Chain A
Amino acid sequence: MRSRFIPGTRAAPWLACLGLLVLWQIAALALKNDSFPTAWAAIRAIPLILADKEALINILASQRRMTIGFAVAIVVSVPLGLMMGRSRAVASFFNPLLMVIYPVPKAALMPIIMLWLGVGDLSKTLVIFLGVSLPVIYHSFEGAKSVEEKMLWSGAAMGLSAAQRMVRIVLPAALPEILTGCRTGLVLALITMVTSEMIARQSGAGNILFNALDMGEYDLVFAMIIIIGAMGICLDAMFETLRARLVRWSEPQFDMPLSFS
């Protein structure tokens, strides 16, 4: 059965947001806890943060580092992942190294990288780069690996060179999977950024969050949580729109029709 257009599908995420906020409001009112302000109080505190010029500049600077780290990671990881997916040798060369790096929390490298490169933009961007790379490599790898062999054979029969086959066949065929990786990577970039700011406690959204916590300004803590959450959801929604445009031909993964109901 194909899922038909249901009115209100577009509004559903907004309704979900609203529902979650209402739940929060009710929970806060019920708990009557000093350190757990109501949703409404938190929302009212949002302008306080955004009006603070220094805070705003800090957040924007974080965003810039995030964008750069993300972009560089994509440029490096996608070709690497694709090559791993098409060549057994390349894959077995890099796999163990990646397996070792995979479970290491990238933001946890912050103290060490700060020790080496100082507290400047470079170390913060580097950590974001590391955080984004692995899922993008992984998804590009999976995407390239599952490209059908026959498609490449017919490409070769049409006289495409190995490099041309990579760009003209493997890249587009793996694109849906690559974009899934990029989507994960984008959210991870934000997470790595916030976490490393929480650990380094120099500036940025994560720092504001914990400063407010230390000062006991709980409205601000929760306001900042809303801001960061909204950033994550917006980034994801923007990317999802882009993805849907780019790979219209591919079946959207989580919008599959239900097969047993």
Chain B
Amino acid sequence: MTVRAQDLLLGLVPLALVIALWQALVSFGYAPATLLPPPGLVFRRLAQQLTTLTFEQDVAATLFRLFAGFLIAVVLGVTIGIAAAASPLINSAVRPVVRVLAPLPKVALYPALLLLLGFGHGSKITLVTADALFPILLSTYYGASTVEQKLVWSALAAGTPPREVLFKVILPAAAPSILTGCRIGLVISCIVVFLAEMITSTDGLGHVLVTAARTFQAVDMFVPLITISLLGLILNGALGALRSYLLRGFPEV
């Protein structure tokens, strides 16, 4: 416990240093407040914004797109990943397509999605799904196809019907890998939803940043960035807690 506390303190040092440097830059006049507002001002503005309805609605819009896109990606990614690991036929079809689509910069598809699905939620959610899908799919496939063979054998020998092996052995054994993929996918979802909103949107955190940038409101530019960072931290922490609960049996969680 004390070691963890020490680690935590050590980790707070660079954060404190960054904020101190930031404050110093402003205080000693190296950066004009119009370009770099002092940290106190930014955090006060953040606290104030969090209580206004319009900002809350922007956060809600971002969260909705983020979760919708992420959840679709989880369902698709885990299903396709497991299917590709279980069936050689599906594998030989999925593998080349993934090979082509995974390195494709999905954000380049965004204009096409806008043309096809319009400027509303649909195009943004699809973009989030497209970006979060591949890390989840790949790590599911990896996890499922490297399950220790003897685990499967032990289950079969104990009388597990072959078609139940998927749920009784493969899925639980691949869980660490799947959850790692989900964690990466979640962070990517945070990033992508924000960017999509910046490129074109009428609401959401990304839109708040763009509006502020157009009017050169430096303070208001920092607020959505800090908000998305906090959102990412909270979601990541929640998923991490879920992960260590689900995987309490596995070594080195």
Contact = CB atoms under 8 A, between A and B. Distances in A.
Interface string B216-238: 10100110010011011101100
Interface stretch (B49-57, B68-76, B93-101): B93-101
A30 interface: no
A92 B7 contact: yes
Contacts of A89: 10
12 contacts: A99-B236, A104-B232, A105-B190, A105-B228, A107-B198, A111-B210, A190-B105, A191-B106, A191-B107, A210-B199, A229-B104, A261-B86
Given A103-B187, A199-B198, A213-B114, A93 B142 contact: no
Interface of A: 6, 12-13, 15-17, 19-20, 33, 35-36, 88-89, 92-97, 99-109, 111-112, 115-116, 187, 190-191, 194-195, 198-199, 205-206, 209-210, 212-213, 218, 221-222, 224-225, 228-229, 231-233, 235-237, 253-254, 256-261
A111 B229 contact: no
B88 A101 contact: no
Given A20-B101, A254-B142, 12 more contacts: A12-B96, A13-B96, A19-B97, A92-B10, A94-B11, A105-B198, A112-B218, A116-B31, A221-B115, A228-B105, A257-B145, A259-B145
Interface string B133-157: 0000010011001111100100000
B105 A229 contact: yes
Given A103-B190, A209-B108, A258 B103 contact: no
Contacts of B229: 100-101, 103-104
B14 interface: yes
The dominant DSSP class at the A interface is helix
B92 interface: yes
B195 interface: yes
A88 B10 CA distance: 11
Nearest to B9: A92
Given A103-B191, A115-B35, A258 B91 contact: yes
Given A221-B112, A260-B149, A100 B142 contact: no
Nearest to B148: A259
Contacts, number: 194
B142 A12 contact: no
Contact of A16 (B31, B97, B107, B112): B97
Contacts of B112: 36, 221-222, 225
Contacts of A225: 108-109, 111-112
B15 A97 contact: yes
Interface residues of B, number: 74
Given A99-B236, A108-B209, A111-B209, A209 B111 contact: yes
A191 to B, nearest CB: 5
A215 to B, nearest CB: 12
Interface of B: 6-8, 10-15, 18, 31, 35-36, 85-88, 91-92, 95-97, 99-112, 114-116, 138, 141-142, 145-149, 152, 165, 170, 187, 190-192, 194-195, 198-199, 206, 209-210, 213, 216, 218, 221-222, 225, 228-229, 231-233, 235-236
A191 B115 CA distance: 20
Nearest to B36: A116
A102 B231 CA distance: 11
Contacts of B187: 102-103
A221 B111 contact: yes
A100 B116 CA distance: 35
Given A259-B146, A259-B147, A228 B108 contact: yes
A106 B192 CA distance: 10
Nearest to A235: B103
B194 A108 contact: yes
B145 to A, nearest CB: 5
B13 A93 contact: yes
A217 to B, nearest CB: 11
A108 to B, nearest CB: 6
A20 B8 CA distance: 49
